[in-house]
A = this chain, B = another copy of it.
Amino acid sequence: MEHDITIKQVTTGKAKPDYNHLSFGKYFTDHMFVMDYNEEDGWFDARITPYEPLLMDPSSLMFHYGQSVFEGLKAYTSQKGGIQLFRPEKNFNRMNISSDRMNIPEVDPDFLVDALKQLLHIDRDWIPVEERQSLYIRPFIIATEPALSVKPASQYKLMIILSPVGSYYAQSDQMSPVSIYVEDEYVRSVKGLVGFTKTAGNYAASLKVQQKAEDLGYDQVLWLDAIEKKYIEEVGSMNIFFKINGEIITPALNGSILDGITRDSVIELLRYWGWNVHERRISIDEVKQAHTDGVLEEVFGTGTAAVISPVGRLKWKDEELVINDNQTGPVSYDLYDTITGIQTGATDDILGWTVPLQEQET
């Protein structure tokens, strides 16, 4: 797939928000990338335009049947100078995996990495320079065909929008453990459904339970499998890891959880460091038993937003397991430090994960 990207820039950029008070995904840069699809032309009209509202027919299939996929990744100002991305090809490959399940036509990942670089270049002065700040990148595809029949759309729109984001943690140099509520009534997905994809409907279905967790005083939800209500799946937008008796365990990719890119990076890094990492089924009972036995040493979530999110408290039925005295453990800390270090150029990119944004002419 080869496309020319036409570029239409704003004449005057928007005022930038206060970078010390960025909430997640609230402010958007001056430009966006857009590309359309129809059956005749395939993907066409790749363009960078001012960030602006879309005109959507009320019957657009997305509004009714939710056919869509999305991704989330970040661009960082490197301490060595320049801008860099973290494993962007993984995101665009995963987008195709999601698209395949959702009947959406695939897109050449290399082309999208290139389009993204061009977009970033144009909006480069939006990319935060402060440590722990970054530019969040949201590629997504929606079904735009105006029609009410339940069928794969014949028209789509792919967009990439950009949003400067602050540190996930209030004090940027300190990770604060989160509290997690283990849900045992509602479920997130099941084998044979679309849990392994990043599609809109997965997230809509989770809102009620996220609210329930917050009402009960917990930060996030840990999902169990839908069939036995026993095996650990993942958190709202994180995969989860357990350090038990000196070994690391994370749920295997089973068709219902997301193949997280941070999860993959953590596994690779831990193995590089010499840890035993097991990708397998792990039940909530096993976690509880480990806690009782005093060998549940660390629990942490992994995801693009927080990178590493130590879990300090785990609520399961009537019990609350406090982990590592509700403090960030050493493995969580080392992972966070190393991965964010690689992302921001403070640490050597020992595993070849970063992709620099080449300087180019506008």
Contact = CB atoms under 8 A, between A and B. Distances in A.
A111 interface: no
Interface string A190-222: 111110000111111111101100000000000
Nearest to A148: B25
A150 B361 CA distance: 36
Interface string A64-82: 1111101000000000000
A270 B203 CA distance: 39
A353 interface: no
B161 A211 contact: no
Contacts of A236: 150
Contact of A67 (B147, B188, B189, B204): B204
A204 B201 CA distance: 8
Contacts of A68: 63-64, 66, 204
Given A142-B63, A200-B200, A205-B194, A103 B211 contact: yes
Interface stretch (A6-14, A47-55, A279-287): A47-55
B58 A56 contact: no
Contacts of A226: 190-193, 226-227
A203 B64 contact: yes
Interface string A224-253: 001100000000110000000000000000
Interface string A305-331: 000000000000000000000000000
Interface residues of A, number: 64
Contacts of A25: 59, 147-149
Judged by DSSP, the binding face of A is: loop
Contacts of A188: 193
A210 B70 CA distance: 22
Contact of A185 (B54, B192, B205): B192
Interface string A94-115: 0000000111000000000000
B150 A203 contact: yes
A257 interface: no
Given A58-B159, A188-B193, 7 more contacts: A53-B57, A62-B200, A101-B208, A152-B207, A190-B226, A194-B204, A199-B201
Interface of A: 23-26, 28, 32, 51, 53-59, 62-68, 70, 101-103, 136, 138, 140, 142, 147-152, 159, 161, 163, 185-194, 199-208, 210-211, 226-227, 236-237
Closest 9 CB pairs of A and B: A201-B201, A25-B148, A66-B200, A65-B203, A187-B192, A66-B204, A53-B55, A103-B207, A190-B190
